[in-house]
Amino acid sequence: MQKKLEELLARKEEASLGGGLSRIERQHEQGKLTARERVHFLLDEGSFEEIGQLVVHRSHDFGMETQRIPGDGVVTGYGTVNGRLVYVFAQDFTVFGGSLSETHAEKI
């Protein structure tokens, strides 16, 4: 059981990086926040609960079956703003340029 929990935590950690560290750094170099950073900036500290963090697209066209990035380019979930419950999403430009897929749209 412990091994499975460790695997889950590792997958969540990977998913939290979106398209990877190099793309995150590129966003920062351009003076932009990542999708996850924008969500955390908006919501009350510690209130964000992510939904669908490990979801991947279902596309098999254009060689996409080999590119499985958890979260599928959008951060979704809920949290609070000034104590009030809100649901949020932020498209993640580090994953496929933030482009929309079927599972991406379903998360929203």
If you ran DSSP here, which 8-state letter would residue 88 be given? E
CA distance 94 to 30: 12
**Quick count: other Cβ atoms within 10 Å of Cβ 3?**
7
Instruction: For the chain, 108 residues long, give each residue's pLDDT as a single digit of tens.
Output: 899 999 988 888 888 888 889 999 999 999 999 999 999 999 999 999 999 888 766 665 666 666 666 667 889 999 999 999 999 999 988 876 666 676 766 777
- CB burial of 55-78 (b: ≥16 within 10 Å; e: otherwise) equals bbbebeeeeeeeeebbbbbbbbbe
What is residue 34's predicted lDDT score, i.e. its pLDDT?
93
User: CA 85 from chain center: how many Å?
Assistant: 20
CATH of the domain at 95: 3.90.226.10
What is residue 90's predicted lDDT score, i.e. its pLDDT?
93
Question: What's the chain's Rg over C-alpha atoms?
Answer: 14
0.85 cut: is pTM over it?
A: no
Q: How many domains does the chain have?
A: 1
CA distance 36 to 15: 11
Range of the domain at 52: 2-107
